[in-house]
Structure 1
Amino acid sequence: MTIDSHQHFWNYEAVKHSWIDDEMSSIRKDFLPEDLKKVYQENGIDGCVAVQADQTLEETDFLLELAKQNDFIKGVVGWADLRSGHIDSVLEKYSSEQFLKGWRHVVQGEADHNFLLRPNFLRGISLLEKYGYTYDILVFPHQLGAVLEFVRKFPNQRFVIDHIAKPYIKDGFYDGWASLMKEIGKQENVCCKLSGMITEADYNSWTPEQLHPYMHLVLEAFGSERVMFGSDWPVCLVAGNYGQVKGVVTDFISTLGEEDQQMIMGANAEAFYNL
Protein backbone atom coordinates (compact mmCIF):
# COMPACT_ATOMS: atom_id res chain seq x y z
CA MET A 1 0.00 0.00 0.00
CA THR A 2 1.02 3.59 -0.61
CA ILE A 3 0.55 5.50 2.63
CA ASP A 4 0.75 9.23 3.24
CA SER A 5 2.27 9.31 6.74
CA HIS A 6 1.45 12.96 7.42
CA GLN A 7 -1.56 15.13 6.61
CA HIS A 8 -4.09 17.33 8.40
CA PHE A 9 -7.80 18.16 8.51
CA TRP A 10 -9.46 21.23 9.94
CA ASN A 11 -12.53 23.39 10.05
CA TYR A 12 -10.77 26.72 9.69
CA GLU A 13 -11.02 29.17 12.60
CA ALA A 14 -8.90 32.35 12.53
CA VAL A 15 -7.87 32.24 16.20
CA LYS A 16 -7.34 28.50 16.48
CA HIS A 17 -5.34 28.40 13.25
CA SER A 18 -3.47 31.68 13.75
CA TRP A 19 -0.24 29.93 12.65
CA ILE A 20 -1.60 30.16 9.09
CA ASP A 21 -0.03 33.54 8.33
CA ASP A 22 -0.68 35.98 5.47
CA GLU A 23 1.80 34.21 3.18
CA MET A 24 -0.29 31.05 3.62
CA SER A 25 -3.67 32.74 3.20
CA SER A 26 -4.65 30.32 0.41
CA ILE A 27 -5.23 27.58 3.04
CA ARG A 28 -7.43 29.70 5.30
CA LYS A 29 -10.43 27.48 4.68
CA ASP A 30 -11.82 24.06 5.65
CA PHE A 31 -9.96 20.91 4.59
CA LEU A 32 -11.89 17.69 5.18
CA PRO A 33 -11.82 14.04 4.06
CA GLU A 34 -13.99 14.59 1.00
CA ASP A 35 -11.37 17.07 -0.29
CA LEU A 36 -8.48 14.67 0.27
CA LYS A 37 -10.19 11.52 -0.98
CA LYS A 38 -10.34 12.91 -4.52
CA VAL A 39 -6.66 13.96 -4.36
CA TYR A 40 -5.68 10.46 -3.23
CA GLN A 41 -7.61 8.82 -6.06
CA GLU A 42 -5.76 11.05 -8.56
CA ASN A 43 -2.36 10.29 -7.00
CA GLY A 44 -2.61 6.57 -6.23
CA ILE A 45 -2.59 6.87 -2.41
CA ASP A 46 -4.26 4.04 -0.46
CA GLY A 47 -4.40 5.54 3.00
CA CYS A 48 -3.03 8.09 5.43
CA VAL A 49 -2.17 9.08 8.96
CA ALA A 50 -4.03 12.18 10.15
CA VAL A 51 -1.91 14.36 12.44
CA GLN A 52 -3.07 16.98 14.96
CA ALA A 53 -2.86 20.66 14.01
CA ASP A 54 -4.40 22.05 17.22
CA GLN A 55 -3.36 21.40 20.81
CA THR A 56 -6.63 20.25 22.37
CA LEU A 57 -8.22 16.92 23.21
CA GLU A 58 -11.15 18.08 21.07
CA GLU A 59 -8.77 17.95 18.09
CA THR A 60 -7.87 14.35 18.94
CA ASP A 61 -11.56 13.43 19.17
CA PHE A 62 -12.30 15.25 15.89
CA LEU A 63 -9.63 13.25 14.02
CA LEU A 64 -10.75 9.96 15.57
CA GLU A 65 -14.31 10.61 14.46
CA LEU A 66 -13.12 11.28 10.90
CA ALA A 67 -11.10 8.05 10.96
CA LYS A 68 -14.18 6.06 11.99
CA GLN A 69 -16.13 7.57 9.08
CA ASN A 70 -13.47 7.24 6.36
CA ASP A 71 -11.74 3.97 5.47
CA PHE A 72 -8.68 5.66 3.98
CA ILE A 73 -7.73 7.31 7.30
CA LYS A 74 -5.74 4.43 8.78
CA GLY A 75 -4.40 6.11 11.90
CA VAL A 76 -4.41 9.28 14.01
CA VAL A 77 -1.64 11.16 15.80
CA GLY A 78 -3.40 13.20 18.45
CA TRP A 79 -2.55 15.75 21.11
CA ALA A 80 -2.74 15.48 24.87
CA ASP A 81 -0.90 17.56 27.44
CA LEU A 82 1.99 15.20 28.16
CA ARG A 83 3.11 17.57 30.96
CA SER A 84 -0.10 17.02 32.93
CA GLY A 85 -0.08 15.25 36.28
CA HIS A 86 -3.13 13.33 35.03
CA ILE A 87 -1.61 12.21 31.73
CA ASP A 88 -1.59 8.50 32.62
CA SER A 89 -5.37 8.44 33.02
CA VAL A 90 -5.78 10.34 29.72
CA LEU A 91 -3.57 7.84 27.88
CA GLU A 92 -5.46 4.95 29.45
CA LYS A 93 -8.80 6.45 28.43
CA TYR A 94 -7.68 6.64 24.78
CA SER A 95 -5.98 3.24 24.76
CA SER A 96 -9.22 1.58 23.58
CA GLU A 97 -9.32 3.80 20.45
CA GLN A 98 -8.04 1.53 17.68
CA PHE A 99 -7.23 4.40 15.30
CA LEU A 100 -5.14 6.38 17.81
CA LYS A 101 -1.53 5.48 17.09
CA GLY A 102 0.49 8.20 18.77
CA TRP A 103 0.84 11.75 20.01
CA ARG A 104 2.47 15.02 19.02
CA HIS A 105 3.20 18.39 20.60
CA VAL A 106 3.99 21.50 18.54
CA VAL A 107 7.45 21.82 20.09
CA GLN A 108 8.56 24.12 17.25
CA GLY A 109 6.22 26.73 18.73
CA GLU A 110 7.73 26.59 22.23
CA ALA A 111 10.07 29.46 23.14
CA ASP A 112 11.98 27.15 25.50
CA HIS A 113 14.72 25.50 23.38
CA ASN A 114 14.89 22.65 25.91
CA PHE A 115 11.15 22.06 26.17
CA LEU A 116 11.61 18.36 25.30
CA LEU A 117 13.93 17.88 28.30
CA ARG A 118 11.70 19.36 31.01
CA PRO A 119 10.94 16.80 33.76
CA ASN A 120 7.14 16.96 33.45
CA PHE A 121 7.30 16.41 29.68
CA LEU A 122 9.80 13.55 30.05
CA ARG A 123 7.49 11.91 32.57
CA GLY A 124 4.64 11.99 30.05
CA ILE A 125 6.83 10.53 27.30
CA SER A 126 7.97 7.74 29.65
CA LEU A 127 4.37 6.46 29.80
CA LEU A 128 3.84 6.09 26.03
CA GLU A 129 5.65 2.78 25.62
CA LYS A 130 3.29 1.10 28.09
CA TYR A 131 0.38 1.79 25.72
CA GLY A 132 2.30 1.10 22.49
CA TYR A 133 2.05 4.72 21.38
CA THR A 134 4.41 6.48 18.97
CA TYR A 135 5.60 10.08 19.30
CA ASP A 136 6.02 12.58 16.43
CA ILE A 137 8.83 15.11 16.96
CA LEU A 138 7.99 18.52 15.44
CA VAL A 139 10.96 20.87 15.81
CA PHE A 140 13.14 23.45 14.08
CA PRO A 141 16.86 22.80 13.50
CA HIS A 142 17.92 24.90 16.51
CA GLN A 143 16.08 22.38 18.73
CA LEU A 144 17.89 19.30 17.38
CA GLY A 145 20.50 19.28 20.16
CA ALA A 146 17.67 18.76 22.65
CA VAL A 147 16.13 16.12 20.34
CA LEU A 148 19.34 14.08 20.39
CA GLU A 149 19.45 14.08 24.19
CA PHE A 150 15.70 13.40 24.32
CA VAL A 151 15.60 10.31 22.08
CA ARG A 152 18.61 8.79 23.85
CA LYS A 153 16.64 8.81 27.11
CA PHE A 154 14.00 6.45 25.69
CA PRO A 155 15.75 3.78 23.59
CA ASN A 156 12.60 1.62 23.37
CA GLN A 157 10.18 4.41 22.46
CA ARG A 158 9.26 4.75 18.77
CA PHE A 159 9.94 8.30 17.54
CA VAL A 160 9.58 9.92 14.13
CA ILE A 161 10.93 13.33 13.13
CA ASP A 162 8.36 15.33 11.17
CA HIS A 163 9.31 17.31 8.05
CA ILE A 164 13.02 16.35 8.25
CA ALA A 165 13.19 18.83 11.20
CA LYS A 166 12.40 21.81 8.94
CA PRO A 167 15.87 22.82 7.69
CA TYR A 168 16.11 26.37 6.37
CA ILE A 169 16.18 25.30 2.73
CA LYS A 170 15.18 28.75 1.48
CA ASP A 171 18.35 30.21 3.02
CA GLY A 172 20.54 27.30 1.96
CA PHE A 173 21.52 26.41 5.54
CA TYR A 174 22.64 22.80 5.79
CA ASP A 175 25.73 21.89 7.82
CA GLY A 176 24.48 22.33 11.41
CA TRP A 177 21.21 20.57 10.63
CA ALA A 178 23.03 17.77 8.79
CA SER A 179 25.54 16.97 11.54
CA LEU A 180 22.82 16.67 14.21
CA MET A 181 20.52 14.62 11.96
CA LYS A 182 23.37 12.17 11.37
CA GLU A 183 23.77 11.72 15.12
CA ILE A 184 20.04 11.34 15.68
CA GLY A 185 19.93 8.79 12.85
CA LYS A 186 22.28 6.56 14.85
CA GLN A 187 19.46 6.03 17.35
CA GLU A 188 17.64 3.04 15.87
CA ASN A 189 14.31 3.89 17.54
CA VAL A 190 14.02 7.10 15.49
CA CYS A 191 12.46 7.37 12.01
CA CYS A 192 12.13 10.42 9.76
CA LYS A 193 9.39 11.70 7.47
CA LEU A 194 10.28 12.98 4.00
CA SER A 195 7.59 15.65 4.30
CA GLY A 196 7.15 19.39 4.64
CA MET A 197 10.13 20.18 2.43
CA ILE A 198 8.74 22.43 -0.30
CA THR A 199 7.31 24.80 2.32
CA GLU A 200 10.79 25.24 3.85
CA ALA A 201 12.07 26.33 0.43
CA ASP A 202 10.89 29.42 -1.46
CA TYR A 203 7.16 28.91 -2.09
CA ASN A 204 7.36 30.27 -5.62
CA SER A 205 10.78 29.30 -6.93
CA TRP A 206 11.79 26.00 -5.28
CA THR A 207 13.18 23.19 -7.43
CA PRO A 208 13.49 19.45 -6.70
CA GLU A 209 17.27 19.79 -7.07
CA GLN A 210 17.33 22.19 -4.09
CA LEU A 211 15.81 19.48 -1.92
CA HIS A 212 18.10 16.65 -3.04
CA PRO A 213 20.99 17.28 -0.60
CA TYR A 214 18.55 17.24 2.32
CA MET A 215 16.81 14.06 1.17
CA HIS A 216 20.15 12.40 0.48
CA LEU A 217 21.32 13.15 4.02
CA VAL A 218 18.10 11.79 5.54
CA LEU A 219 18.38 8.59 3.51
CA GLU A 220 22.03 8.22 4.50
CA ALA A 221 21.36 8.90 8.21
CA PHE A 222 18.21 6.79 8.67
CA GLY A 223 18.33 4.23 5.84
CA SER A 224 15.39 3.15 3.67
CA GLU A 225 13.91 1.15 6.55
CA ARG A 226 13.37 4.24 8.75
CA VAL A 227 12.21 6.87 6.25
CA MET A 228 8.58 7.47 5.25
CA PHE A 229 6.80 9.63 2.69
CA GLY A 230 4.41 12.30 3.93
CA SER A 231 2.66 15.10 2.05
CA ASP A 232 1.87 17.61 4.81
CA TRP A 233 -1.38 18.30 2.91
CA PRO A 234 -2.99 20.83 2.95
CA VAL A 235 -0.05 22.94 4.21
CA CYS A 236 1.95 21.86 1.14
CA LEU A 237 -0.58 23.61 -1.10
CA VAL A 238 0.96 27.02 -0.38
CA ALA A 239 4.02 25.94 -2.38
CA GLY A 240 2.77 23.28 -4.81
CA ASN A 241 0.19 20.62 -5.55
CA TYR A 242 -0.04 17.08 -4.21
CA GLY A 243 1.37 15.50 -7.36
CA GLN A 244 4.47 17.69 -7.13
CA VAL A 245 5.01 16.79 -3.48
CA LYS A 246 4.71 13.08 -4.15
CA GLY A 247 6.83 13.36 -7.31
CA VAL A 248 9.71 15.01 -5.43
CA VAL A 249 10.02 11.87 -3.29
CA THR A 250 9.20 9.17 -5.85
CA ASP A 251 11.61 10.66 -8.40
CA PHE A 252 14.37 10.94 -5.82
CA ILE A 253 14.03 7.32 -4.65
CA SER A 254 13.51 5.89 -8.16
CA THR A 255 17.13 4.69 -8.31
CA LEU A 256 16.64 2.55 -5.19
CA GLY A 257 15.52 -1.08 -5.30
CA GLU A 258 11.83 -1.94 -5.46
CA GLU A 259 11.73 -3.07 -1.80
CA ASP A 260 13.36 0.15 -0.58
CA GLN A 261 10.86 2.23 -2.55
CA GLN A 262 7.93 0.25 -1.11
CA MET A 263 9.23 0.76 2.43
CA ILE A 264 9.52 4.52 2.01
CA MET A 265 6.16 4.90 0.24
CA GLY A 266 4.09 2.88 2.69
CA ALA A 267 5.49 -0.19 4.42
CA ASN A 268 7.49 1.79 6.99
CA ALA A 269 4.48 3.90 7.95
CA GLU A 270 2.35 0.76 8.26
CA ALA A 271 4.90 -0.84 10.58
CA PHE A 272 5.73 2.26 12.62
CA TYR A 273 2.11 3.23 13.28
CA ASN A 274 0.82 -0.35 13.35
CA LEU A 275 -1.83 0.51 10.75
Structure 2
Amino acid sequence: MKLDAHQHFWHYDPKRQEWITPEMGRIRRNFVPADLYPLLQEVQIDGCIAVQAEESLRETDFLLDLAQEHEWIMGVVGWADLGQDNLDEVLDQYSNQEKLVGFREVLQAKDPRYMLRDEFVRGMQKLKERGYTYDLLLFPHHLEAALELVKKCPEQRMVIDHLAKPLIKDGEWRDWKKKISLLAEREMIYCKISGMVTEADWKKWTSDDLTPYMEIALELFGPERLMFGSDWPVCLVAGEYEQVYKVVDDFISPLSPSEKANLMGDSAVQFYGI
Protein backbone atom coordinates (compact mmCIF):
# COMPACT_ATOMS: atom_id res chain seq x y z
CA MET A 1 0.00 0.00 0.00
CA LYS A 2 1.28 3.45 -0.94
CA LEU A 3 0.47 6.22 1.51
CA ASP A 4 1.00 9.94 1.74
CA ALA A 5 1.75 10.04 5.46
CA HIS A 6 1.39 13.78 5.94
CA GLN A 7 -1.10 16.24 4.47
CA HIS A 8 -3.73 18.73 5.63
CA PHE A 9 -7.25 19.94 4.90
CA TRP A 10 -8.82 23.20 5.97
CA HIS A 11 -11.60 25.69 5.38
CA TYR A 12 -9.55 28.84 5.24
CA ASP A 13 -10.11 31.47 7.88
CA PRO A 14 -7.45 34.18 8.31
CA LYS A 15 -7.91 34.14 12.08
CA ARG A 16 -7.81 30.38 12.50
CA GLN A 17 -4.94 29.94 10.01
CA GLU A 18 -3.02 33.02 11.02
CA TRP A 19 0.25 31.19 10.34
CA ILE A 20 -0.51 31.46 6.62
CA THR A 21 1.30 34.71 5.88
CA PRO A 22 0.62 37.02 2.89
CA GLU A 23 3.63 35.57 1.06
CA MET A 24 1.88 32.19 1.23
CA GLY A 25 -1.03 33.59 -0.79
CA ARG A 26 -1.45 30.47 -2.89
CA ILE A 27 -2.74 28.47 0.08
CA ARG A 28 -5.07 31.15 1.44
CA ARG A 29 -8.15 29.22 0.37
CA ASN A 30 -10.06 26.05 1.18
CA PHE A 31 -8.39 22.69 0.62
CA VAL A 32 -10.69 19.68 0.71
CA PRO A 33 -10.49 15.97 -0.25
CA ALA A 34 -11.74 16.65 -3.78
CA ASP A 35 -8.61 18.75 -4.34
CA LEU A 36 -6.21 16.05 -3.17
CA TYR A 37 -7.70 12.85 -4.53
CA PRO A 38 -6.80 13.44 -8.21
CA LEU A 39 -3.21 14.19 -7.19
CA LEU A 40 -2.95 10.90 -5.31
CA GLN A 41 -4.37 9.03 -8.27
CA GLU A 42 -1.84 10.58 -10.65
CA VAL A 43 1.06 9.08 -8.69
CA GLN A 44 -0.82 5.89 -7.75
CA ILE A 45 -0.99 6.57 -4.01
CA ASP A 46 -3.74 4.60 -2.28
CA GLY A 47 -4.50 6.91 0.63
CA CYS A 48 -3.28 9.45 3.12
CA ILE A 49 -2.91 10.46 6.75
CA ALA A 50 -4.67 13.76 7.52
CA VAL A 51 -2.73 15.78 10.10
CA GLN A 52 -4.00 18.62 12.26
CA ALA A 53 -3.13 22.16 11.25
CA GLU A 54 -5.10 23.99 13.95
CA GLU A 55 -4.87 23.54 17.71
CA SER A 56 -8.46 22.76 18.60
CA LEU A 57 -10.72 19.77 19.15
CA ARG A 58 -12.86 21.27 16.40
CA GLU A 59 -9.98 20.44 14.05
CA THR A 60 -9.88 16.84 15.23
CA ASP A 61 -13.64 16.51 14.67
CA PHE A 62 -13.37 18.13 11.23
CA LEU A 63 -10.71 15.67 10.05
CA LEU A 64 -12.54 12.68 11.48
CA ASP A 65 -15.71 13.70 9.66
CA LEU A 66 -13.75 13.87 6.40
CA ALA A 67 -12.16 10.49 7.09
CA GLN A 68 -15.58 8.97 7.65
CA GLU A 69 -16.76 10.34 4.31
CA HIS A 70 -13.68 9.25 2.35
CA GLU A 71 -12.31 5.73 2.74
CA TRP A 72 -8.93 6.70 1.31
CA ILE A 73 -8.28 9.06 4.26
CA MET A 74 -6.93 6.16 6.24
CA GLY A 75 -5.91 7.88 9.45
CA VAL A 76 -6.20 11.14 11.35
CA VAL A 77 -3.56 12.76 13.54
CA GLY A 78 -5.68 15.05 15.67
CA TRP A 79 -4.99 17.65 18.33
CA ALA A 80 -5.31 17.48 22.08
CA ASP A 81 -3.70 19.43 24.89
CA LEU A 82 -1.68 16.69 26.57
CA GLY A 83 -1.21 18.81 29.68
CA GLN A 84 -4.87 19.41 30.44
CA ASP A 85 -6.40 17.92 33.58
CA ASN A 86 -9.35 16.36 31.76
CA LEU A 87 -7.31 14.60 29.08
CA ASP A 88 -8.81 11.23 29.98
CA GLU A 89 -12.30 12.59 29.42
CA VAL A 90 -11.28 14.06 26.05
CA LEU A 91 -9.72 10.79 24.93
CA ASP A 92 -12.79 8.87 26.10
CA GLN A 93 -14.88 10.93 23.68
CA TYR A 94 -12.83 9.55 20.78
CA SER A 95 -12.53 5.96 21.96
CA ASN A 96 -14.81 4.68 19.18
CA GLN A 97 -13.05 6.59 16.38
CA GLU A 98 -10.99 3.89 14.67
CA LYS A 99 -9.39 6.29 12.21
CA LEU A 100 -7.96 8.48 14.98
CA VAL A 101 -4.43 7.12 15.05
CA GLY A 102 -2.50 9.79 16.94
CA PHE A 103 -2.09 13.36 18.08
CA ARG A 104 0.09 16.40 17.50
CA GLU A 105 0.65 19.86 18.91
CA VAL A 106 2.50 22.69 17.21
CA LEU A 107 5.58 22.24 19.38
CA GLN A 108 7.70 24.25 16.94
CA ALA A 109 5.88 27.39 18.16
CA LYS A 110 6.62 26.67 21.81
CA ASP A 111 9.65 26.76 24.07
CA PRO A 112 11.56 23.47 23.87
CA ARG A 113 11.00 22.86 27.58
CA TYR A 114 7.24 22.90 27.04
CA MET A 115 7.29 19.21 26.14
CA LEU A 116 9.22 18.30 29.29
CA ARG A 117 6.61 19.55 31.75
CA ASP A 118 5.35 16.84 34.12
CA GLU A 119 1.78 17.21 32.89
CA PHE A 120 2.85 16.88 29.25
CA VAL A 121 4.85 13.73 29.97
CA ARG A 122 1.90 12.34 31.91
CA GLY A 123 -0.35 13.05 28.93
CA MET A 124 2.07 11.31 26.59
CA GLN A 125 1.98 8.26 28.82
CA LYS A 126 -1.82 8.25 28.58
CA LEU A 127 -1.53 8.20 24.79
CA LYS A 128 0.75 5.19 25.07
CA GLU A 129 -1.77 3.37 27.26
CA ARG A 130 -4.46 3.89 24.61
CA GLY A 131 -2.26 2.95 21.66
CA TYR A 132 -2.00 6.39 20.07
CA THR A 133 1.07 7.69 18.25
CA TYR A 134 2.53 11.19 18.52
CA ASP A 135 3.83 13.46 15.75
CA LEU A 136 6.71 15.71 16.76
CA LEU A 137 6.53 19.04 14.90
CA LEU A 138 9.89 20.58 15.69
CA PHE A 139 12.69 22.87 14.67
CA PRO A 140 16.30 21.71 15.09
CA HIS A 141 16.66 23.64 18.35
CA HIS A 142 13.90 21.46 19.85
CA LEU A 143 15.73 18.19 19.21
CA GLU A 144 17.63 18.06 22.48
CA ALA A 145 14.42 18.48 24.48
CA ALA A 146 12.72 15.92 22.24
CA LEU A 147 15.43 13.41 23.15
CA GLU A 148 14.76 14.05 26.83
CA LEU A 149 11.05 13.50 26.20
CA VAL A 150 11.76 10.21 24.45
CA LYS A 151 13.86 9.07 27.38
CA LYS A 152 10.95 9.81 29.70
CA CYS A 153 8.54 7.93 27.41
CA PRO A 154 10.72 5.21 25.87
CA GLU A 155 7.85 2.97 24.76
CA GLN A 156 5.82 5.69 23.02
CA ARG A 157 5.79 5.61 19.23
CA MET A 158 6.73 9.04 17.89
CA VAL A 159 7.50 10.35 14.43
CA ILE A 160 9.54 13.44 13.62
CA ASP A 161 7.66 15.55 11.09
CA HIS A 162 9.51 17.20 8.20
CA LEU A 163 12.94 15.92 9.32
CA ALA A 164 12.65 18.49 12.16
CA LYS A 165 12.89 21.26 9.56
CA PRO A 166 16.64 21.49 8.93
CA LEU A 167 17.98 24.76 7.55
CA ILE A 168 17.96 23.60 3.93
CA LYS A 169 17.95 27.11 2.48
CA ASP A 170 21.21 27.81 4.33
CA GLY A 171 22.71 24.44 3.46
CA GLU A 172 23.26 23.66 7.16
CA TRP A 173 23.15 20.00 8.14
CA ARG A 174 26.00 19.14 10.52
CA ASP A 175 24.47 20.30 13.80
CA TRP A 176 21.03 19.00 12.75
CA LYS A 177 22.47 15.59 11.89
CA LYS A 178 24.29 15.36 15.21
CA LYS A 179 21.10 16.06 17.16
CA ILE A 180 18.67 13.99 15.14
CA SER A 181 21.04 11.01 15.09
CA LEU A 182 20.56 10.59 18.84
CA LEU A 183 16.82 10.29 18.32
CA ALA A 184 17.34 7.88 15.43
CA GLU A 185 19.09 5.50 17.82
CA ARG A 186 15.71 4.94 19.51
CA GLU A 187 13.83 2.19 17.69
CA MET A 188 10.39 3.62 18.54
CA ILE A 189 11.20 6.88 16.73
CA TYR A 190 10.30 7.27 13.06
CA CYS A 191 10.83 10.19 10.69
CA LYS A 192 8.91 11.74 7.80
CA ILE A 193 10.61 12.77 4.59
CA SER A 194 8.28 15.70 4.16
CA GLY A 195 8.17 19.47 4.29
CA MET A 196 11.55 19.90 2.63
CA VAL A 197 10.67 22.29 -0.18
CA THR A 198 9.30 24.89 2.23
CA GLU A 199 12.57 24.84 4.19
CA ALA A 200 14.52 25.39 0.97
CA ASP A 201 14.51 28.47 -1.25
CA TRP A 202 10.88 28.57 -2.38
CA LYS A 203 11.70 30.15 -5.74
CA LYS A 204 14.78 28.24 -6.89
CA TRP A 205 15.25 25.01 -4.95
CA THR A 206 16.48 21.94 -6.79
CA SER A 207 16.51 18.25 -5.89
CA ASP A 208 20.24 18.59 -5.26
CA ASP A 209 19.44 20.96 -2.39
CA LEU A 210 17.26 18.30 -0.75
CA THR A 211 19.28 15.15 -1.44
CA PRO A 212 21.84 15.52 1.39
CA TYR A 213 19.06 15.64 3.96
CA MET A 214 17.32 12.59 2.51
CA GLU A 215 20.62 10.73 2.45
CA ILE A 216 21.21 11.50 6.12
CA ALA A 217 17.66 10.47 7.05
CA LEU A 218 18.03 7.19 5.17
CA GLU A 219 21.39 6.54 6.80
CA LEU A 220 20.09 7.20 10.30
CA PHE A 221 16.57 5.73 10.24
CA GLY A 222 16.68 3.24 7.39
CA PRO A 223 13.68 2.72 5.09
CA GLU A 224 11.87 0.78 7.82
CA ARG A 225 11.43 3.94 9.92
CA LEU A 226 11.07 6.54 7.18
CA MET A 227 7.81 7.57 5.55
CA PHE A 228 6.96 9.81 2.62
CA GLY A 229 4.70 12.79 3.23
CA SER A 230 3.81 15.55 0.79
CA ASP A 231 2.86 18.21 3.35
CA TRP A 232 0.20 19.23 0.81
CA PRO A 233 -1.16 21.88 0.51
CA VAL A 234 1.58 23.73 2.42
CA CYS A 235 4.08 22.45 -0.14
CA LEU A 236 2.30 24.46 -2.85
CA VAL A 237 4.04 27.65 -1.77
CA ALA A 238 7.25 26.13 -3.15
CA GLY A 239 6.24 23.36 -5.55
CA GLU A 240 3.51 21.21 -7.06
CA TYR A 241 2.45 17.92 -5.54
CA GLU A 242 3.99 15.93 -8.39
CA GLN A 243 7.30 17.77 -7.95
CA VAL A 244 7.44 16.91 -4.26
CA TYR A 245 6.60 13.29 -5.03
CA LYS A 246 9.15 13.04 -7.83
CA VAL A 247 12.02 14.27 -5.63
CA VAL A 248 11.48 11.38 -3.23
CA ASP A 249 10.61 8.85 -5.94
CA ASP A 250 13.82 9.65 -7.82
CA PHE A 251 15.86 9.52 -4.62
CA ILE A 252 14.68 6.02 -3.70
CA SER A 253 15.05 4.61 -7.23
CA PRO A 254 18.28 2.71 -6.35
CA LEU A 255 16.62 0.98 -3.37
CA SER A 256 15.25 -2.54 -3.42
CA PRO A 257 11.51 -3.08 -3.99
CA SER A 258 10.96 -3.88 -0.31
CA GLU A 259 12.89 -0.79 0.81
CA LYS A 260 10.86 1.40 -1.55
CA ALA A 261 7.64 -0.17 -0.28
CA ASN A 262 8.63 0.59 3.31
CA LEU A 263 9.38 4.25 2.69
CA MET A 264 6.37 4.83 0.43
CA GLY A 265 3.76 3.29 2.69
CA ASP A 266 4.55 0.20 4.71
CA SER A 267 6.39 2.12 7.44
CA ALA A 268 3.42 4.46 7.87
CA VAL A 269 1.00 1.52 7.90
CA GLN A 270 3.01 -0.12 10.66
CA PHE A 271 3.57 3.06 12.66
CA TYR A 272 -0.02 4.28 12.57
CA GLY A 273 -1.59 0.83 12.76
CA ILE A 274 -3.60 1.29 9.55
Amino acid at match of 2:191: C
Partner of 1:269 in structure 2?
268
What is the aligned partner in structure 2 of residue 14 from structure 1?
A: 14
Q: CA–CA distance in 2 between the matches of 1:113 and 1:125? A: 16
Which residue number corresponds to residue 73 of structure 1?
Answer: 73
Residue 236 of structure 1 corresponds to 235
Residue of structure 2 equivalent to 1:129 = 128
> For 1:146-184, what per-residue CA distance to the aligned partner results, in whole angstroms no more than 9, with x for missing partners?
011111211111000000000110011111111011111
- How far is the alpha carbon of 1:92 from its aligned partner? 2.1
Question: Secondary structure at 1:114's aligned position in 2?
Answer: helix
Contact 1:152/1:187 (<8 A) preserved: no
Structure 1 residue 113, shift from structure 2 partner: 2.2
Distance in 2 separating the partners of 1:264 and 1:113: 29
Which stretch has the larger CA shift, 116-125 or 196-205? 116-125
Cα distance per residue 1:5-46 (max 9 Å; x no partner): 000000000011010112211100000001111111112111
Offset at residue 118 of structure 1 (A) = 1.1
Contact 1:157 1:189 survives alignment (8 Å): yes
For residues 210 and 17 of structure 2, the distance between their equivalents in structure 1, rounded to whole angstroms, comes to: 28
2:95 and 2:101 map into 1 onto residues whose CA distance is 9
Alignment of 1:88-99 (within 5 A): 88-99=88-99
Match of 1:35 in 2: 35
1:50: which partner in 2? 50
Residue number in structure 2 paired with 1:102 = 102
Residue 233 of structure 1 aligns to which amino acid in structure 2? W
Q: Distance between the aligned counterparts of 1:164 and 1:95, measured in 2?
A: 30
1:67-121 deviation per Cα after TM superposition (whole angstroms, max 9, x unaligned): 00001100000001111011012112212101100000000011x2211111111
Give the equivalent residue in structure 1 for 2:146: 147
Q: Is the 8 A contact 2:224 2:267 kept in 1?
A: yes
> Which ranges of structure 2 fall in alignment gaps of 5 or more residues?
none
In the alignment, structure 1 segments of 5+ residues that lack a partner are: none
Q: Which moved more, 1:199-208 or 1:35-44?
A: 35-44
Q: What corresponds to 2:158 in structure 1?
A: 159
Task: After the TM superposition, list the runs of 4 or more consecutive aligned residues in structure 1 that deviate by more than 6 angstroms.
Answer: none
Please list the CA deviations of residues 208-235 of structure 1 after superposition, one character each: whole Å capped at 9, or x if unmatched.
Answer: 0111111111111111100000000000
Contact 2:121/2:153, CA 8 A, preserved across alignment: no
Give the secondary-structure state (helix, strand or coil) at the position aligned to 2:253: helix
1:179 is matched with: 178
SS in 2 for 1:211: helix
CA contact (8 A) 2:192 2:226 kept: yes
Q: Distance in 2 between matches of 1:162 and 1:126?
A: 20
Deviation at residue 142 of structure 1 after TM alignment: 0.7
TM-score by length of structure 2 reads 0.99
* RMSD, aligned CA: 0.7
Q: Secondary structure at the match of 1:74?
A: strand
Q: CA deviation at 1:255?
A: 0.7
Which sits farther off after the overlay, 78-87 or 35-44? 35-44
Amino acid at match of 1:129: K
CA–CA separation in structure 2 for the residues paired with 1:102 and 1:34: 24
Identity %: 52
Question: Which amino acid in structure 1 is aligned with residue 133 of structure 2?
Answer: T
